[in-house]
């Protein structure tokens, strides 16, 4: 834990640290005592995979996602996503436009071990697989929609009703490390709620 505290600037370098500190400031958390404030509230996860996805999926009715791709996450949470849709859940997702060659090339800088075909396949399968799960749902009012953007996405963000999970992207993927994640309750952070609503709507234009 002490190592994390000493290296928090390194963990969230570049654009990532700016995004995270902006969120922390608007969430009313003292930046000088990040670990003391966040870990004690169970709102900071060193590894993105440690987020309690089952709990979030099981109690949510609306999910909004902004991400580069989510193929493996969907596979891991397939059952809980189906249960979400079976309750009439509504899911929206923003993905990079796989037909935008310049954008794909920019994203590839994060994944030097990927080729274009593999990345584009992961993007398209993300939307296809979410739709397939929705199509298996017993509820006709369950909904899924996808929006493709030509803008660069600098973070992964997921809104589960009134809760936001956000994880900054590393800028260059020469050395891959587990991505951290923040959990932030939006009911207590109206400014943050407005920020995410603005961000999401900007991708829909």
CA 3, 29, 163, 55 dihedral sign is positive
Number of independent structural domains in the chain: 1
CATH number for the domain spanning 184: value is 3.30.870.10
Opening angle at CA 22, ends 123 and 72, nearest 5: 20
C-alpha distance from residue 137 to each of 53, 55, 61, 72, 91 (Å): 19, 19, 14, 20, 13
Distance between CA atoms of residues 73 and 176, nearest Å: 17
| SS3 label, residue 30 | coil
Identify the segments of the chain with pLDDT beneath 70: 1-42, 171-178, 205
Report the percent of the chain where pLDDT is more than 70: 75
pLDDT digits (tens, 9 = 90+) for 40-59: 344 889 899 999 999 999 99
In this structure, the chain runs to a length of: 205
What's the confidence (pLDDT) of residue 60?
97
SS3 of 162, please? coil
Report the C-alpha gap between 29 and 25 in whole angstroms.
Answer: 6
Q: Which two tokens stand for residue 62?
A: 């609306």
Q: What's the rounded Cα separation, in Å, for the pair 56 and 187?
A: 15
pTM: 0.79
Domain of residue 133, residue span:
2-203
């Amino acid at each position: 834990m002490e190592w994390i505290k000493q290296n928090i600037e390194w963990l969230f370098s570049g654009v990532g640290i700016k995004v995270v500190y902006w969120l922390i400031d608007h969430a009313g958390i003292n930046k000088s005592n990040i670990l003391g404030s966040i870990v004690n509230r169970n709102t900071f996860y060193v590894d993105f995979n440690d987020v309690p996805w089952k709990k979030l999926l099981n109690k949510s009715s609306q999910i909004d996602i902004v991400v580069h791709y989510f193929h493996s996450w969907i596979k891991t949470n397939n059952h809980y996503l189906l249960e979400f849709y079976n309750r009439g859940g509504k899911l929206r997702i923003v993905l990079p436009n796989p037909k935008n060659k310049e954008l794909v090339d920019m994203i590839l800088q994060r994944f030097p071990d990927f080729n274009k075909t593999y990345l584009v396949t992961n993007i398209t399968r993300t939307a296809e697989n979410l739709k397939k799960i929705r199509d298996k749902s017993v509820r006709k009012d369950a909904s899924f929609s996808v929006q493709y953007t030509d803008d660069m996405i600098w973070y992964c963000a997921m809104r589960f009703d009134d809760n936001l999970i956000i994880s900054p992207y590393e800028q260059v993927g020469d050395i891959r490390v587990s991505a951290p994640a923040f959990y932030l309750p939006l009911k207590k952070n109206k400014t943050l709620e407005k920020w995410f609503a603005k961000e999401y709507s900007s991708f829909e234009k």
